[in-house]
Structure 1
Amino acid sequence: MTGRWLVIGVLLALATGCGEASSAPERRTPEDPAALPTEVPGAEGLVRSTEPVVVSDDGSGPMLCFGGISFGDPPSCSGAPVTGWDWSAVGDVSEDGGQRWGSYVLTGTFDGTTFAVEEVSQPDPEPDEWDFEILCPTPDGGWQVEDPARSTQDDLGAAMNTASGLPGFASGAVSTPDGEPGPDDPAQTVFSLYVVGDPAAAEAAIREVWGGMLCVTEVERTDDDFEQMQGEVIEAEVPGMSQVGGNLDNQLEIVVFHDDSSIQRWADQVYGEGVVVVESNLQPVG
């Protein structure tokens, strides 16, 4: 999910129907488990960073930051040496206390220990990308406010607080009826709520405080499930990880600097296929 929705229960950036509520997905112990790499896997051929990466140089040489970034001026981080780097050619360089750094889109090769740069470009302004979908069918006659007197900003806040306290709460988001980013007017807002268990019971609880548009969808994993898995993944020290947390597809999403599918195989064997999705920043060119 990308875009600027107000969302409850989403990714953590690493800077340093009816049913019963689920427990966290059981960790599997396969007879021949896929090993979690101890280092960031190397890439074959030419690759490009799909998201900007920080390159920093404290005087010992340029370093690409993909883990343990401490944001500030200047940043400190761990990562990999960069070859073919020319500070005079990249533009938009910050300097402080003898350290230089900047954020760039890199193209080159990565063998797991060193990034050999072939092309450096400035990040484009982030485009407005909307891929959110309201999962409930559009009601007959279109989306309508049920009770205008209980459709204020305070009422929406009360609905979110109530939702986050439900035993089967997974996540929530607000949008327009067309799935566009949440409007300023709560009366034009659809509150999408994802729960484990009985959607009707969750809807009844929200309706006690919210008279606006509402979509309640049953999913498999709660926010507590994701919190437990998130902690396990952080403890496992997935190499090159920059973000981890639940997404609106009810999956645990792990963002890493590069994955050659070995991290995804590990996650599939530990949690089952489709529970965890690993997103690699580096992607093949062409």
Structure 2
Amino acid sequence: MARSIAGRARGVAVLVVVTVPVVVTVLVVAGCATPGAEKVREGGALGAAISSTFMTEASGSVIERDGQTRLCFGVLQSNPPVCGGGVELSGWDWEAVEGKYEAHAGVRWGDFTVTGAYDSDAETLAVVSTGPIAATPTTDPRGPILPSRCPAPDGGWKIVDETRASSEALHAATGTIMSMEGFGTMWIDRSEIPTVPPGTDTLEEMRLDAVHAGLSILNVGVRSDPASAEERIRDVWGGALCVFSVAYTATELNARVQAIVGDPRRMTEQQIMTVGPDALTGVITVQVVHDVDGALQREMDQQYGPGAVVVSSILVPR
């Protein structure tokens, strides 16, 4: 599966990144937390730490199946849904929670925000309070916009050759770029494309998309000569273009991602939810349920160098 985020609506930044197969296919619902946790340690033989508990808050899908209730940060979409990764809940009471839920074929599920005490040793969240997931804040109607790496040229971004500035040409250009030696990353900044007024006829919107296709700023990072790469891209693309140097290739990032998710121990013990490279920086981000004492981050730093891989936890002390 390619690690990519593609937008079909005009004005949505298309993150093409690299053709990185992502083994983890679950959808993460990120949790919320604030710093300043209370961490409890219990000493065992010779004073060894045998448990670690802290208060936390997270949002996700609560699914009860086969007598077990879990807060799921990844959900396999089916009817009823299946938990694709998360933590077991203790003290969950469907009759006491605030919010709606569904039931089918012996399974109950719903979306909630849960506050509780997380035991990282038992991987269990003891419920203290629950509530519905907060409404998603209003976002830019054009979708997420990834900024161009290059400053705007004198006179602003313009179409160089209208005969090679169509949606078809853009598609051809992306194919050419991804086949180039030294290809590292690629994304499209559509911030220069005028926003279509609400209520615009669908056919008119499609016409405007075609007219302004060349204002899509194609950003390309290569570990080779940028000037030579730009000359080759210009053979097929006459729209806005930004070519720059990077210190990595897509192939290298792909191999690194595969090495991270290919370790069964990490996938089970660390509960890796998502992994993939950042298009703008090449940094690989790994999201886990909880990185106990920062162990996985230290492992990544030792293996790849500080800053090359960034590990984040969904469950963090609040």
TM-score (structure 1 length as normaliser): 0.79
Q: Is 1:115 aligned with 2:142?
A: no
Superposed displacement of residue 234, structure 1: 0.9
Measure the CA separation in 1 of the matches of 2:294 and 2:25.
Answer: 24
Measure the CA separation in 1 of the matches of 2:138 and 2:288.
Answer: 21
Q: Where does residue 71 of structure 2 map in the other structure?
A: 64
Superposed displacement of residue 59, structure 1: 3.9
Measure the CA separation in 2 of the matches of 1:169 and 1:177.
Answer: 24
Superposed displacement of residue 262, structure 1: 1.8
Q: Is 1:14 aligned with 2:24?
A: yes
Q: Is 1:137 aligned with 2:151?
A: yes
Q: Where does residue 223 of structure 2 map in the other structure?
A: 196
Q: Where does residue 114 of structure 2 map in the other structure?
A: 106
Q: Where does residue 306 of structure 2 map in the other structure?
A: 273
CA contact (8 A) 1:133 1:179 kept: no
Q: Where does residue 20 of structure 1 map in the other structure?
A: none
Q: Where does residue 264 of structure 1 map in the other structure?
A: 297
Q: Is 1:93 aligned with 2:101?
A: yes
Superposed displacement of residue 153, structure 1: 0.4
Q: Where does residue 253 of structure 2 map in the other structure?
A: 226
Measure the CA separation in 1 of the matches of 2:294 and 2:254.
Answer: 24
Q: Is 1:48 aligned with 2:79?
A: no
Superposed displacement of residue 246, structure 1: 1.2
Q: Which amino acid aligns with 2:254?
A: E
SS for the counterpart of 1:231 is: helix
Q: 1:251 aligns with which of 279, 283, 293?
A: 283
CA contact (8 A) 1:134 1:179 kept: no
SS for the counterpart of 2:79 is: coil
SS for the counterpart of 2:149 is: coil
Root mean square deviation of aligned Cα: 2.9
Superposed displacement of residue 118, structure 1: 2.6
Measure the CA separation in 2 of the matches of 1:209 and 1:236.
Answer: 41
Superposed displacement of residue 275, structure 1: 0.9
Superposed displacement of residue 214, structure 1: 0.6
Q: Where does residue 48 of structure 2 map in the other structure?
A: none
Measure the CA separation in 1 of the matches of 2:247 and 2:190.
Answer: 25
Superposed displacement of residue 114, structure 1: 0.7
Measure the CA separation in 2 of the matches of 1:13 and 1:5.
Answer: 24
Query: CA-to-partner distance for each residue in 1:40-61, whole Å, 9 max, x for gaps?
Result: xx87532222xx4232111413
Measure the CA separation in 1 of the matches of 2:77 and 2:179.
Answer: 32
Q: Which amino acid aligns with 1:236?
A: D
TM-score (structure 2 length as normaliser): 0.71
SS for the counterpart of 1:62 is: strand
Q: Where does residue 175 of structure 1 map in the other structure?
A: 189
In the TM superposition, structure 1's runs of 4+ consecutive aligned residues that sit over 6 Å from their partners are none
Superposed displacement of residue 222, structure 1: 1.5
Identity %: 30
The range that moved more, 157-166 or 94-103, is 94-103
Q: Which amino acid aligns with 2:127?
A: V
CA contact (8 A) 1:13 1:242 kept: no
Q: Which has the higher contact order (CA 8 A, sep 6+)?
A: 1
CA contact (8 A) 1:7 1:171 kept: no
Measure the CA separation in 2 of the matches of 1:105 and 1:131.
Answer: 28
Q: Where does residue 27 of structure 1 map in the other structure?
A: none
* 1:13–1:72 CA distance, 2 compared to 1 (3 A): farther
CA contact (8 A) 2:182 2:224 kept: yes
SS for the counterpart of 2:316 is: strand
Question: Gapped runs of 5+ residues in structure 1?
Answer: 17-41
Q: Where does residue 153 of structure 1 map in the other structure?
A: 167
Superposed displacement of residue 8, structure 1: 1.3
CA contact (8 A) 1:43 1:109 kept: no
SS for the counterpart of 2:262 is: helix
The range that moved more, 245-254 or 103-112, is 103-112
The range that moved more, 99-108 or 237-246, is 99-108
* 1:243–1:126 CA distance, 2 compared to 1 (3 A): farther
Q: Where does residue 179 of structure 2 map in the other structure?
A: 165
CA contact (8 A) 1:145 1:213 kept: yes
Question: Gapped runs of 5+ residues in structure 2?
Answer: 27-50, 196-207
